[in-house]
Amino acid sequence: MSRTFAVIYEAQADFTTATEIADRVMLTEIDWLDAAILPFQRGWLAELPVGRWLTWSSIPSRAREQGIRVRGHFDGEPGLPDAQAARRAIAYILHVADTIDAIVLVRDMDDQTERANGLKQARQVYSSRCRIVIGAANREREAWVISGFHPGDDAEKNALALETQKLGHDPCLHSHELTAGKNDQALRSPKRVLKALTGGDWSREQKCWHETPLQVLKERGAGNGLANYLDEVKVHLVPLISGRANEGPNER
C-alpha cells in the first residue's frame, strides 16, 4: 500500500532537499526497499489541491477560504513562534485531503530557534490523528547542504579553504554558527557560503545530500537541525513503509 506524505515548505528547494533526504533514510533503514520500488511505496505531496503549492505563506488565506480558524493555548501554555501557523497548516491539510499518512513541516529557524518548539506544540495537538515530522533547519536549509559538502577537486578545496579563512572555522563542521538575515551577501550568510562552495550549481548542491554518508550528515548536523530531522524520519516515516507502524503516531 502506497503512503502519502504531505509537506509544508517555504520554497521548492526546501521541499526537494527534505524529501530526497527522507528517501535516503528510508532506503537505508528498510532492507527490502530499493530505488526502483520506492515511488510505489510513498508519494510526496507538494500541492493540495493540484496546482496550489503547500507553502507556509499560502496556507493562511486558504485556511480562511475553508472556514478554518485556530486559536487558543497549547496544553495551557501560550503558543511559541510558529505554533499557530503550524496548527493552521495541519488543520488545513487534514480538512481538505482524502487520505494523508503523515505531514512533514519543513521550516527555517532563521533567528528564532524557538520555532522548533512551536512546531512541537502544534504537533501535540494532532498527535492522535496523524504522524507529523518536523524538519527545523538552524538557521536555514543551506546549513544542511553545507554540512554535506566535501570538496571534489582542487578548485573546491581552495574555495573551502578560503571560506574557512574568512570565517575562522570550517563552515562544513560549524554550519550552525552561520547566521540568517536579509543580506544574503553577508559574511556569515549560509546562502553566500553555499554559493561560494558550489558556484550556485543546483546539481552540485544535490551531491551534498545524495552522496555524503548519512552518518556524516548526522554528525555534522547535530547543531543545525539535520540530525534531528534524520531521527524524525526514522521514527515516524520509516515504520509506515516498513510495516512496523505499531506504536503511536508521535511518541516523541
Q: What is the pLDDT of residues 103-144, one digit of tens each?
A: 999 999 998 999 999 999 999 999 999 999 999 999 999 999
Decide if 54 contacts 107 (C-beta within 8 A).
Answer: no
Q: What is the pTM of this model?
A: 0.95
Residue 247 has pLDDT above 50, yes or no: no
pLDDT on residue 181: 82
Within this chain, do residues 25 and 115 fall inside the same structural domain, yes or no?
yes
Cα 240 from chain centre: 18
pLDDT on residue 248: 45
Count CB atoms within 10 A of the CB of residue 58: 15
Residue 250 has pLDDT above 60, yes or no: no
Please state the φ and ψ torsions of residue 210, each to the nearest 5 degrees.
-80, -40
CA separation for the pair 248, 245 (Å, rounded): 8
pLDDT, average across residues 156-171:
98
Decide if 172 contacts 147 (C-beta within 8 A).
Answer: yes
Average pLDDT, the chain: 95
pLDDT on residue 251: 43
Where in the sequence is the domain holding 48, given as residue range(s)? Answer: 1-138+225-245
Within this chain, do residues 10 and 96 fall inside the same structural domain, yes or no?
yes
Within this chain, do residues 125 and 156 fall inside the same structural domain, yes or no?
no
Distances from the Cα of 191 to the Cα of 75, 136, 162, 171, 197, angstroms? 37, 17, 16, 12, 10
Decide if 5 contacts 237 (C-beta within 8 A).
Answer: yes
CA separation for the pair 137, 223 (Å, rounded): 9
> Which three cell numbers, joined as nine digits, stand for 31?
532492507
pLDDT on residue 252: 39
Q: How confident is the model at residue 245 (pLDDT cuts 50, 70, 90)?
A: low
Instruction: Say which amino acid occupies 165.
Output: Q
CATH of the domain at 16: 3.40.50
Decide if 202 contacts 194 (C-beta within 8 A).
Answer: no
pLDDT, average across residues 235-244:
95
CA separation for the pair 209, 223 (Å, rounded): 17
Cα 156 from chain centre: 26
Decide if 44 contacts 5 (C-beta within 8 A).
Answer: yes
Residue 53 has pLDDT above 50, yes or no: yes
Is residue 250, in this structure, part of any structural domain at all? no
Is residue 251, in this structure, part of any structural domain at all? no
**Number of domains making up the chain:** 2
Q: How confident is the model at residue 71 (pLDDT cuts 50, 70, 90)?
A: confident
Within this chain, do residues 103 and 11 fall inside the same structural domain, yes or no?
yes
Within this chain, do residues 119 and 203 fall inside the same structural domain, yes or no?
no
pLDDT on residue 182: 84
Within this chain, do residues 44 and 157 fall inside the same structural domain, yes or no?
no
Within this chain, do residues 70 and 118 fall inside the same structural domain, yes or no?
yes
Q: Got the DSSP string for 182-217?
A: S-TTSTT-HHHHHHHHHTT-HHHHHHHHHTS-HHHH
Closest C-alpha to 145, from 10, 4, 16, 5: 16
